[in-house]
């Protein structure tokens, strides 16, 4: 039996078992809440883990506050699907001028068409193309964005684009066109370079907000936490399908959030934070595990029942992007959240020396593209 078939069957059986345990009785008994006391990474992971906890923010609250963000300017990378689409759609529906950046122009166009079909009030949405795994692509995108933006402030920057860590055949480490491990390059480094170009626009905003789509996978990384040299990055001794490459990139995002907040200090008008959307029913879910169509059909209802919707997954990220009064009152900077607006501390992200080393490593990698 092929390795991929074993994975698909295992995924199917696990989904069925989890589906059974997501019935009403274990929820009401607080089983999943109890799990979170043992493992903080599970906080808000699914609706079951959040059962009985008041939501810190709701979609109703978001839409009631539309007038406060109408006319503002936002950029959402990876805005054509999943969490990115939900964020961009919600912002555009409230009258925000939204730019969605996608790897593929056709997918961007299709996403905008879908948004306009669902909400006739959307009047200002722009599409641009960028591949965050490619430093040259990020450089050209950033330069074009600066020109098209014509000096206007950028009120919200959602660094959301990314790739999962799909299971597959064993083989050599997958590298980007720049010779960098592909998941680290896509999820983290490309956004670091983008920030180098766009930071002045965010600083021009009355209250600039930067939100990174991270993950609870950041708790389960390699022993060295995050690579701070090419030798470490490419010398983990693990196959390219090791999920810890994804975990490493997500921890890097939280470390970056804390480093930027330290650099800016608390007297600036900028709020940089990260959030885990939870286990959501998005295209990324099946792209990670790549089950067969038969398996998808078999487990899909269970999966839908045990996951957040894209709109629910986007909610905490929207909170960090639009609720400026709460950000100011709570001094919410350099923090990390789980659904629904629960602050979670990942102890691996608190090492300031590691934050500094990652920052220097990142600067060295992008030096020729700034």
| The Cα angle at residue 35 between residues 29 and 41, in degrees rounded to 5 | 140
Q: Kindly give, in sequence order, each residue whose CB lies less than 8 Å from that of residue 122, ignoring residues fewer than 6 positions away.
A: 92, 93, 115, 116
Residue 81 tokens read as: 């699907």
- Residue 278 and residue 45: Cα distance in Å, rounded? 5
- Residue 171 and residue 91: Cα distance in Å, rounded? 41
Does residue 172 sit in helix, strand or coil?
coil
Are 270 and 202 in contact, with CB atoms under 8 Å apart? yes
- Residue 214 and residue 81: Cα distance in Å, rounded? 16
Quickly list H helices, the chain: 3-21, 24-28, 31-38, 59-64, 66-69, 82-93, 105-118, 135-149, 182-184, 190-204, 230-234, 244-264, 283-289, 293-306, 310-322, 324-330, 352-366
What backbone torsions phi and psi does residue 161 show, to the nearest 5 degrees? -60, 145
The CATH superfamily label for domain 56-369 reads NAD(P)-binding Rossmann-like Domain (3.40.50.720)
Domain residue spans of the chain? 56-369
Low-confidence ranges of the chain (pLDDT < 70): 1-25, 119-123, 166-170, 282-305
Looking at residue 7, its pLDDT comes to 59
Is-above-0.85 flag for pTM? yes
Looking at residue 306, its pLDDT comes to 77
Give the residue among 343, 353, 351 at the shortest CA–CA distance from 40. 343
Looking at residue 295, its pLDDT comes to 52
Give the residue among 152, 98, 157, 106 at the shortest CA–CA distance from 123. 98
């Amino acid at each position: 039996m092929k390795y991929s078939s074993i994975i698909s069957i295992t995924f199917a059986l696990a989904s069925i078992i989890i589906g059974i345990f997501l019935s009403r009785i274990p929820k009401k008994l607080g089983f999943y809440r109890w799990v979170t006391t043992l493992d903080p990474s599970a906080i808000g992971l699914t609706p079951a883990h959040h059962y009985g906890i008041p939501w810190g923010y709701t979609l109703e609250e978001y839409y009631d506050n539309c007038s406060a963000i109408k006319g503002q300017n936002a950029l959402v990378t990876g805005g054509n699907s999943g969490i990115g689409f939900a964020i961009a759609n919600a912002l555009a529906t409230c009258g925000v001028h939204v730019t969605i950046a996608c790897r593929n122009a056709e997918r961007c166009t299709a996403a905008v068409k879908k948004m306009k079909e669902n909400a006739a009030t959307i009047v200002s949405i722009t599409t641009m193309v960028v591949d965050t795994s490619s430093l040259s692509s990020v450089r050209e995108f950033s330069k074009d964005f600066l020109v098209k933006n014509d000096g206007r402030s950028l009120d919200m920057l959602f660094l959301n684009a990314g790739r999962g860590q799909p299971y597959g055949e064993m083989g050599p480490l997958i590298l980007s066109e720049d010779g960098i491990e592909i998941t680290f390059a896509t999820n983290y480094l490309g956004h670091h370079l983008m920030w180098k170009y766009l930071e002045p626009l965010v600083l021009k905003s009355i209250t600039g907000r930067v939100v990174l789509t991270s993950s609870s996978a950041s708790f389960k990384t390699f022993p060295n936490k995050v690579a701070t040299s090419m030798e470490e990055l490419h010398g983990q001794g693990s196959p390219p399908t090791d999920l810890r490459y994804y975990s490493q990139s997500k921890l890097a995002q939280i470390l970056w959030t804390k480093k930027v907040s330290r650099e800016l200090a608390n007297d600036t008008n900028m709020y940089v934070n990260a959030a885990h959307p939870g286990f959501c029913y998005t295209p990324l879910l099946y792209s990670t595990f790549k089950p067969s169509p038969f398996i998808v059909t078999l487990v899909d209802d269970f999966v839908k029942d045990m996951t957040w919707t894209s709109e629910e997954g986007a909610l905490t990220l929207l909170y960090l992007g639009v609720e400026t009064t709460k950000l100011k009152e709570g001094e919410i900077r350099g923090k990390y959240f789980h659904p629904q607006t629960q602050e979670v501390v990942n102890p691996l992200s608190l090492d300031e020396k590691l934050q500094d080393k990652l920052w220097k490593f990142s600067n060295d990698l992008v030096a020729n593209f700034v």
